[in-house]
Copies of this chain bind each other. A is one copy, B any other.
């Protein structure tokens, strides 16, 4: 847990890091967030995360509480105060505190801003990547605006928990046409037998992942073939490789999908190479 959290202008010890019970984030899931990787105490791809945050705010018409440059200062300061070398920084902005009413507050309300940061074990992450993870699949049951990175995450919570209970690390949502949309907290990818890297195109049914976007640049630089299109569970299970991307997992090989082994059951060479190359392309600030 974050030892020091930024809450509406103040840096507070975790136990005092509180928001009001009538914060609309608490009563209505009326807020957005970003999770940014921290490496050597620096932010990975902060400008892209902040640009996406700005888009999420705009889509929900939540007032941007401060300039992005000021937000980046708060991210850095929270990382510094928590002495995070490798880990994550979390930023949440909600519509603010108001008397409970579904519609937006009619008087101007100041949005709530919360930032936390925590250390993670990079070695543990690397060890997991060496073995690869298992994923399960589950019917897509989220609303059709998951392109907005909102805290309305209850379906994601239940999917991730189902994965854990079946010995897997991630759950892939599958739409009514049988196509994988994305994971509960990651984007989904496969590599075909002839080396094409496939991931779903960006629309309202997936979040436009920052790690995903950077990886597209890596793929281009390595002159790999890319296809942005949906794929089915069966295609993924029969693929040469599969992996997921997210700020916390980076490029994480998938070796099992719903009890079916992918490839030879070990992380594939393309996935491993993309994982290794990723940080040459990521932006540190």
Measured CA separation A1–B97 after assembly (Å): 10
9 residue pairs of the A-B complex, CB under 8 angstroms, read A14-B22, A18-B21, A19-B19, A21-B92, A22-B116, A29-B153, A104-B164, A141-B143, A145-B155
The 3 closest A-B pairs by CB, nearest first: A18-B18, A29-B29, A102-B160
- A1: chain B residues at CB < 8 Å are 22, 99
Distance of A22 Cα from B2 Cα, bound (Å): 9
Contacts of A15 in B (CB 8 A): 20
* Size category, A interface: 35 or more
Asked, given contacts A102-B160, A104-B161, whether A29 binds B152 with beta carbons under 8 Å apart, the answer is yes
The docked-state distance in angstroms from the alpha carbon of A154 to that of B156 is 15
Residues 239-265 of A contacting B (Cβ, < 8 Å): none
Interface positions of A from 106 to 148, Cβ below 8 Å from B: 114, 116, 118, 141-145
Q: Is A100 an interface residue when CB atoms closer than 8 A count as contact?
A: yes
Report the Cα distance A92→B143, complex, angstroms: 23
Contacts of A163 in B (CB 8 A): 103
Q: Determine if B102 and A153 form an interchain contact, defined as CB atoms under 8 angstroms apart.
A: yes
Q: A26 with B28: in contact, given A17-B20, A19-B18, A20-B18 (CB under 8 Å)?
A: no
Majority secondary structure of chain A interface residues (helix, strand, loop or mixed)? mixed
Distance of A203 from chain B, by nearest CB (Å): 15
Q: Does A90 count as interface, using CB distance less than 8 angstroms?
A: yes
Judged by a CB distance under 8 angstroms, whether A71 is at the interface is: no
Contacts of A60 in B (CB 8 A): 154, 158
Choice from B17, B20, B99, B103 contacting A164 with Cβ under 8 Å = B103
Contact of A157 among B22, B103, B184 (CB under 8 A): B103
Q: Does A271 contact B (CB under 8 A)?
A: no
